[in-house]
Structure formats: C-alpha cells, structure tokens
A and B are shown apart, each in its own frame.
Chain A
Amino acid sequence: MIARLVNFFGDDRYKRLRWRLLLLVLFLIVLADVLVPRPHVEHVWDAIPGWSAAFGFISCVAIIFISKFIGHSCGIMRDEDYYD
C-alpha cells in the first residue's frame, strides 16, 4: 500500500492526475479560507480570505529567486574544490 502511494507521486503516468488533484486541493483550501469564521484577528491581513495562500506563493517565488541571485552575484556559490 505504501509502495503504491509513493509510486503515485513518482510515476510519470500519474502526472496529469496529480496536477488535477493539486488544483482541486488548492481550490478547496481557498474556498475553506473564504468560508471559515474569523472571530478574532491580530493583524488586518489575517481578515483577508486567501491572504496566506497568496503570501505563501509570493514568499516561495521570492525565496527561490532572491537566494539564487544572492548566491550567484555575491560570489557565495563556488566550485566544489574551492577549499582544496
């Protein structure tokens, strides 16, 4: 059972199915976030439905590109034998 579950995530045959499943899950999450009651919010943005989803997406993209930019342009990434 475990092998089949893992295989579902690895095997290219299920690629299309995985995409559909992901989009369905994303839609359900946003829907739930719109419908969920918010009796108490600390910050204004917590009251915006879908805020955390957008924040997660933007954060992830920002992390990838800013980090790669820093790594490549500030001389942080070096050849593997740099210290040898």
Chain B
Amino acid sequence: MTEWLHPALIMVFGAALLPMLHDTGQKTVSVLVPFLVLLRMLQMDVGSQGQVQFIGVELVLFQADKLSLVFAWVFSIMAVIGNIYAWHINDTGQRVSAFLYIGSAFGVVFAGDWFTLLVAWEVMAFASAYLIFASANRKAVAAGFRYLMVHVAGGVLLFGGIVLHGVQTGSYLVGPLDHGQGGLAYNLILISFMLNAAVPPLSAWLTDAYPEATVTGAVFLSAFTTKTAVYVLIRNYPGAEVLIGFGVAMALYGVVFAVLENDCRRLLGYHIISQVGYMVAAVGMGTEMALNGAASHAFAHILYKGLLFMGVGAVILTTGRRKLTELGGLYRTMPMTVVLYMIGALAISAFPLFSGFVSKSMIISAAAGDHRAAVTLLLTVASSGTFLHTGLKLPYYMFFGKDCGLRPSEPPVNMLLAMGLAALFCIGIGVFPQLLYDLLPYPVDYHPYSGAHITQSLGLLMFTLLAFVLCLRYLDPEKTISLDTDWLYRRGATLFMWFAHHPVLLWEKMVVTLGDGAGLRMLHRLSRASQKVDTHLVDAAVNGVARMAWRCGLLLRQFQTGVVSHYALVMIVGLIVMLVFPLIAALAAP
C-alpha cells in the first residue's frame, strides 16, 4: 500500500492539520511535513504505480518515472526551503494554500491520466491565487482575480482538449501526443500548457500577479506553476517544433521587458519568462540532450529563482518598498542578503561553479549540436541579458547605486537560513553537476567544464559587465509601468464595455423603437386580416360541414318511426325482394 503513498496526500494531510495548530506547533508542522515528503522521495522508485477505477475510467493517480521524479525532487526541496522562509508569518490561510499548491504540483507530476492531471491543475490555480489575495490590498485582490480568470480559462481549454482527445483516441493516459498533430485536441491542450508556462502572448498573468503576492507567497509562486507546465510539455509535447520559436521569442521578450521594469519582483517575473523560454525551446528540439537540458534547467531554475525572490522579498519586508527608483544603498546594513542574492544571480547568469552553468549550457549545446545556429545565438544574447538584469541592474539599483537613505536590518534568521540553503544548492549543483545529471530522464554524456566553455562563458558575462558599467546612465529605472498583453483584459475590457454601452445599446434602442412604431402597427393589421380569414373561411367551412351532418341526421331520423309494424313491413318487403330477385334473374337467364 505505502509503495505508492502519494506525496500530494502527505501535503493535503498537512494542510488539514495546520488549522488545528497555533504558533510554534503550526510553524513546526509547516516545515516538518515537507521534510516527510523529502523522506518519502528517498524511498521512491521508478515504476511505482497506483490505479483506481472510477465510473468505468481507469485513473492512474500515481506513476513515477525518472522525469516525474526529477521534478518531484526539486519540488520537495523547494517545499522545505519555502516553508522555512515563511516560518515567521502568522497566517494560517497562506500556509494551508501553500501546502495545497505544492501538493497539487505533486499531483500534476505524478498524474498518469488526464483527469487526475486536470483536477490537480485546477487545485493548483485556486490554491496559488490565495497567495496573491493574501496581500489584502486593492491592487492585489484585483490582480488575484485576473490571475484566477486567466487560469480558469486555461483550465477550460485543457478540459475541452482532454475530452476531445479521449473521444478521438479512446485513451485518457498522459504521454506524447501525436494523434492528429495540429488537430483541435492537440492544440487546445498545447495552448493551456503554454498559458501556464507563460509563453507570450499568454504570459501577462505572471508579471501582473506575482509582484502583488505576499513576500513569502511569491517564492512559492515562482517555483511551481511554470515548472509544472514545463514538466507537462516535456511529457506530452517533446519535439513539437513550434515550441522552439516560442521559446526563443520568450527568452528575448523577458529580457527586453526587464530593461523597462521598475518593480523588483516584476523584473524577476520577466526573467522567469525568459528562463522558461530556454526550457520551452528545448522541449521543441526534442532530442534527449535537449529534454535533459529542459529538466535540469527547471531543477536549477526553481532553486535560484526561489533564492532571488527570497532576496528581493527580504528587501521588501524590511523596507516596505518595491520600486528600484525608491531603493538603493542597502548594502551597508544588509550584506548577508546581498551575498545570498548574488549567489542566486550568478547561478541564473550561468557563471562557472554555479547551477545555471551546468543546466543552461546543456540546452544551448543541444541547440548547437542540432545545428540550429540562430537559436544558439539568440539564446546566448538572452544569457547576456539575464546577467545584465538579475545580476547587475537589479542588485545595483537595489543594494548599491544612489543611497535612498534607508538603513534596514537583515531579515529574520529563518529567511536567511532558507536563502542559505537555496544558495548551497545553487553552488552544490554547479560544483557537482553529476548529482543532478544522475536524476535526469536520459543518460547524460555532457561535460560542462571544458576549458573553452569556461573562457567563453566568462568572456560573455564579464564583457556584459563592462557594457553595463559603460552604459549605466542609460539604464536608470524610470517611474513607469510597462503595458503588456494584460492590457487587452484590463483596458480592453473597458473598451468592450463602452462598445456594449454605446453602439450595441444604440442599435438595440433603434430596433425597439422601430418595433414599437411601424412594426407593431403592421403586426396589428396582419393579425386583423388573419382573423378575417379565420372567421370567414376556416370557421365557415367547419360550421358548414357540421350543419350538413346535422341535416343528414334529421333526415335519417324520419325513417326511425319507433313503430314495430313499420319495421316488420320493411323486413317483409326485404325478404320478398331477396326471394324474388334471384327468381327473376334465373328466369331471365337464357
């Protein structure tokens, strides 16, 4: 039985337990349960399966292979780190929703059939939305509703796709979709996955909502939603070429928007989009090395991006500010935060000895090995942009640069501890890449630490630094916000309402006026005419037939005198006719 004890079950059980506890008890359980999941992961093997029959459909609630396990490993590590980071908060709602959110992410990566996946997918959307609502201010609530609406729409597309796929193929088991490539089911599911992976133009929900989440909530958000989407893409769409173009475009899209951004966490959000772009492009390439690259980059990404969000969260918590134009000079009193943040920044930038170096380069090498020169070059441009923003622009304007006058202290110890753990993983993976490579779905024959690779990476990054220093004054953040595709449902909705209130309403009024005047008069005339036809033609005919039947009846009644002698006479006459007629006939015959 315990051989397929689902990590999601452990998290859901924990979520049910949390509200019954207070203060230290609740805090302890919030860290202990993710540790239990980590222990559970140690016993997990490839090939475990758990199935149930439900209304005639076989549901595979749990199915472990190397691909699901690599994601489950990093999810459980991040669950521990995230909950340590959130140790100090006193908000049961946030803890419970974070637990459900992590649990449903496990649900997705272990789902063996589409319905299990769909349920976990929907729970994930709702549980994560609470982490945005929990900020409890007007902007956050509005952003939370937009986030929820976008994800519910995505869920509907997924559901439609699943049903169509099931009807067409008769199978509800997840796996590479090649049935009817380009068909409706294929595309609906793909679009819903791309929405969760934040592929532009379906990406605005991420940069709209994440910056509004609570300090601790954003750390969880940065880890799970987009990476489960990467997982389902690897699982179901390996080698879907269309993803290469989208992936490269999103890697650059995030970089361009990050230049314009003033909000710390929105800038990091754009870099989630950019980094997930590498993974999406790798899924599109579909070679074993590329898929390994996508999985390993997702693994590394969750940890370093979590660390970056934790570092920025520490600044927001201690200063109450989130705009680069209002920050600066914090290095004096927050050196630990600076160093830990920078470890995450060096990891995302793919410096040698940090995690990004051993994972991102795998994707770029896969593209080069696949003779995709343009993809290789464009992803390298995005690498330069990544270091420019998360490694240089953000820390410069947040921690160094112009002094904003604030002298905040370091964040609480639990936050520093969580950041330290994440930093340890960022360096550990960079120094011992084989530990990560052993977890990957396919055998790895890749050695990141070649001389040329190291000098090339350092050249790219350090000359990016030089360009940054020389162009610094052109990069100053501005007090603006950037319009993204969320404009369509934020301003577009206003335009839609104007359209409904003006042209549509005008048209409706015109139709009503016309109907009430000329239209109604004509209708009256028409009904009077038809009434005449009814009275004089239809009714008259019916009446005539009835009258004739009545007269015939009267006539017939004349014969029915009721006198027995009359009836006897008729019978006798009849009898005579019957007897005489054959006689005459016989005589007449020759």
Interface residues of A (CB under 8 A from B): 2-3, 5-7, 9-10, 22, 25-26, 29-30, 32-33, 36-38, 42-43, 46, 50-68, 70-71, 75-80, 82-83
Contacts and interface: CB of A to CB of B under 8 A. Distances in A.
A21 to B, nearest CB: 11
Nearest to B370: A42
A60 B464 contact: yes
B226 interface: no
Given A7-B335, A10-B399, A36-B455, A60 B463 contact: yes
B461 A56 contact: yes
Interface stretch (B252-260, B293-301, B497-505, B525-533): B252-260
A5 to B, nearest CB: 7
B435 interface: no
B92 interface: no
Contacts of A82: 481, 483
Interface stretch (B77-85, B236-244, B381-389): B381-389
Given A2-B336, A55-B380, A42 B369 contact: yes
A54 B339 CA distance: 28
B143 to A, nearest CB: 10
* Nearest 7 interchain pairs by C-beta: A53-B459, A67-B259, A60-B467, A56-B460, A42-B368, A59-B384, A6-B335
Contacts of A52: 380, 455-457, 459-460, 463
Which range holds the interface residue count of chain B? 35 or more
Contact of B376 (A43, A67, A70): A43
Given A10-B331, A78-B481, A80-B481, A63 B260 contact: no
Nearest to A50: B459
A63 B258 CA distance: 10
B108 to A, nearest CB: 32
Given A64-B259, A65-B474, A3 B384 contact: no
Given A10-B399, A22-B466, A61 B471 contact: yes
B380 to A, nearest CB: 7
B417 interface: no
A9 B385 CA distance: 21
Nearest to B369: A42
Interface of B: 255-257, 259-260, 329, 331-332, 335-336, 338-339, 365, 368-369, 371, 373, 376-377, 380-381, 384-385, 388, 399-400, 451-452, 454-469, 471, 474-475, 478-483, 490-491
A56 B260 contact: no
Contact of A7 (B331, B384, B465, B478): B331
B512 to A, nearest CB: 35
A57 B464 contact: yes
Given A10-B399, A22-B466, A68 B474 contact: yes
B452 A46 contact: yes
B398 to A, nearest CB: 12
B260 A6 contact: no
A25 B474 contact: no
B260 A60 contact: no
B335 A53 contact: no
Contacts of A76: 260, 482-483
A71 B335 contact: no
Given A7-B335, A78-B480, A59 B464 contact: yes
B455 A22 contact: no
A77 B376 contact: no
Given A67-B256, A71-B260, A55 B481 contact: no
Contacts of B373: 43
